[in-house]
Chain A
Amino acid sequence: MLALFIFIPILRIVPKITYISHDEKKNTVEVPVGLTVMEGALQNNIQGIDADCGGSMACATCHVYVSENWLNKIEKIHDAEQDMLDMAYEPKKNSRLSCQIIVSKDLDGLEVTTPIKQT
């Protein structure tokens, strides 16, 4: 029993997030639970996410396209985010603001694609 407790922290997985650039270069990094997909990109020097407003959902420069198979696993989009996406560079149906996607265990393996540019 004691051994189990010791091993639990070691077994705790850090979700892997894959950032795909517009020219299909993949970059997979570990992003701790609780951070946003935007923060994961900034901390790992992933290109293609500007995040000018720092995550206050006020600028639409952390815009990403979420792979179809992940769209319904992410918490649903709110009106305010949808409104902000109107401002994004070439938004599509699978567009999200990466500052609004909070990394959880369930998002281990998530793939997002960054647009050609943010502005």
Chain B
Amino acid sequence: MIKTDAIIIGAGPTGLFAVHQLGIIGLKCEIIDNLDRAGGQCIELYPDKPIYDIPAIPECTGEELTNGLLKQVAPFKANFHLNQRVEEIKQEDNSWILKTNKGNVFSAPNVIIAGGVGSFEPRKLTLKEAEKFEGSQIFYSVVNKKIFQNKKISIFGGGDSALDWALELSKTNQVTLIHRRSEFRGAAHTLNEVRQKEKEGKILIKTPYNLTSIEGDKIMTGIEIKHENEKLEKVKADYILSFFGLIMKLGPIAEWGLNIDKKTIPVNTETFQTNKEGIFAIGDICTYPGKLKLILSGFHEGALAARACFKRAKPNETYKFEFTTASKNIHDRLGLKK
């Protein structure tokens, strides 16, 4: 079990800045996120899109913002626990015990939920039969490409993931690439390569087609797809790979008794504490009169929540407000050399 002063759920911009705000007041923290890297929506939804409303930064992309925050929190050496979701939370005396789906257990007097709109999960195929074959013949990411050798693979999607995997798997397999419209949105050079493979007969491209049914009882044998003009067509398939991006799901947080309404958690605006003592909510996931879902609001909320964490983490000490420009304590925590 990992013991710390505060556990942050969500490594988006708000969660990252909370690491900073805890760090400068001398509190330790652990940060947990379901994605494989920090950055949250900024890195997953709009890494290349410019953001224009971060104070003193006229323009930056989601990726630049994330990298800047990671650099800013580096001195505090917070541990990142990625690729895992918090499944359970329970109270033990004055501490909260959290358990992730990877079996990691954490204990802290404070929990800061910076979960945005929820954790990212792959968007799944909408056909009901798809569930039956998920993990055996239908995949939403590639874990082990060896299983696909010399098999018939249908790949769905029009973005880079679909195009990249079509190219990669076409080396050893029969690949059919299926997309709902004739335009692909992946990188131009990848698309050129895919078109080249199509000419060589290595990749079969089917557009504009949608999936209408999956065939097979215990084992999937093929699929049926429908052209925009309603014409149906059968395709033999041993495996389906589907790349329709990610969706955000609130997941277990909804069951924690935090009075969630419209996917948001009510907080008091003095401490950003929820209805449970020691559980705070900041960023897009919190709500209060006048709430704006802006990154800068998340920063402010994290600053106040961090101060509120101090009392519970160090009940015998008095919190003293200090400026980063002048405080020797803060300079030490930042590891600055004189």
**Residue in A52, A54, A59 whose Cβ sees the most chain B Cβ within 10 Å:** A52
Q: Quick one: given A52-B248, A119-B247, are A58 and B46 in contact (CB under 8 Å)?
A: yes
* A54 nearest CB across to chain B (Å): 5
Contact of B228 among A56, A87, A93 (CB under 8 A): A93
Complex Cα–Cα for A53 and B123 (A): 15
Contact of B123 among A79, A83, A93, A119 (CB under 8 A): A119
Q: Quick one: given A52-B117, A86-B157, A86-B244, are A58 and B45 in contact (CB under 8 Å)?
A: yes
Q: Mark A39-56, 1 if CB is under 8 A from B, else 0.
A: 000000000000011101
Q: Mark A70-98, 1 if CB is under 8 A from B, else 0.
A: 00000000010011001101110100000
Q: Is the CB of A54 within 8 A of B46?
A: no
Q: Quick one: given A56-B46, A91-B180, are A83 and B185 in contact (CB under 8 Å)?
A: yes
A61 within 8 A of B: yes
By the criterion of a CB under 8 Å from any partner CB, how many residues of chain A are at the interface? 18
Within 8 A of B (CB), among A16-52: 52
| B284 neighbours in A (Cβ, 8 Å) | 54
Q: Is the CB of B185 within 8 A of A53?
A: no
| B179 neighbours in A (Cβ, 8 Å) | 86
Q: 26 A-B residue contacts at CB 8 Å?
A: A52-B117, A52-B247, A53-B45, A54-B284, A56-B45, A56-B46, A56-B49, A58-B41, A58-B46, A58-B49, A60-B245, A61-B247, A79-B185, A82-B183, A83-B158, A83-B159, A83-B185, A86-B157, A86-B185, A86-B244, A86-B245, A87-B123, A87-B244, A90-B210, A119-B123, A119-B247
Question: Given contacts A52-B117, A60-B245, A82-B181, could you give 8 more A-B pairs where the C-beta distance is less than 8 Å?
Answer: A54-B293, A59-B45, A61-B247, A79-B185, A83-B159, A83-B185, A86-B245, A119-B123
